[in-house]
Chain A
Amino acid sequence: MIKNNPTIFIVDDEPLLSEMLTDYLQEQHEGFNIKSFPTGEACLQSLDEHPDAVVLDFYLNSKEKNAANGIDILKEIKKRSKALPVIMLSSQKSYATAAQTINYGAVHYVIKGQDAFDEIFQLIKANV
């Protein structure tokens, strides 16, 4: 990790995962400045804060049916900030979905589960 105080955006409509991931990352590195967003739209509105990485859930419409899904948000992020590392998150073990997100510029596709927290931390370390 090159930066001491990187800003990390977590975009997930499930507060349990956002809180657990925030706690985990801050335990690994106190300098993280972490912001959580329940929708992709809220994340896009804050992109001018220049986050150093975004952890983005694939399904963002379990709570709000009309909310944009992760792939649309990924496309928009990449349109605005091509170099910003985006780590996609989903509990869907699908090669096609993973390949699709990588094609649109995600650095990796992480399966939600008990191992996801450390995997995300390692990816942030490698990309920030």
Chain B
Amino acid sequence: MVDLAFLRSFTKDDPKKMKRYISLYLDVAPKTFEEMQRNLTNGDWEQLRINAHSLKPQADFMGINSLKEELIKIEEAVKLHNLEGIEALFNTALTISMKSGQLLKEMLDQF
């Protein structure tokens, strides 16, 4: 679910930098999902799309490809006004985010 190959290459295996980047991600991702949950509740689709859009490259840097794919689906669903299944997409993305977040926390302890 989490592949740190890019981050390892980017930081040249510098544990200090890896820790800093992962910590920044772990700080941002749950807040973004909280915001997306509010957007979903309020029917604020454009802001939901922007939040999914902004988290996408960060998931990419952390090597969480399954999350990146789900965020793309949310973006596309809003763009195409295909809102019927958007709550299910959000829930899938949230589950991946929580599981990958836990894995990243465990990895942090190993540095």
Contacts and interface: CB of A to CB of B under 8 A. Distances in A.
Contact of B54 (A13, A19, A20, A23): A13
Interface string B11-53: 0000001001100110010001000000000000001001101
A24 B60 contact: no
Interface of A: 13-17, 19-20, 23-24, 59, 61-62, 65, 91-92, 112-114, 116-117
Contacts of A59: 50, 53-54
Nearest to A117: B10
A68 to B, nearest CB: 14
A19 B60 contact: no
B24 A19 contact: yes
A61 B48 CA distance: 11
A24 B24 contact: no
B28 A14 contact: yes
Interface of A is mostly: loop
Contacts of A116: 57
Nearest to B58: A16
Given A13-B54, A62-B50, A113-B60, 4 more contacts: A16-B25, A20-B10, A91-B56, A114-B61
Nearest to A58: B53
Interface string B53-75: 11011101100000000000000
10 A-B pairs with least C-beta separation:
A62-B54, A112-B57, A16-B24, A91-B57, A62-B50, A91-B56, A114-B6, A16-B58, A62-B51, A15-B24
A62 B53 contact: yes
A106 B58 CA distance: 24
Given A20-B21, A24-B10, A14 B53 contact: no
A61 B58 contact: no
Contacts of B25: 16
B58 A14 contact: yes
A59 B57 CA distance: 13
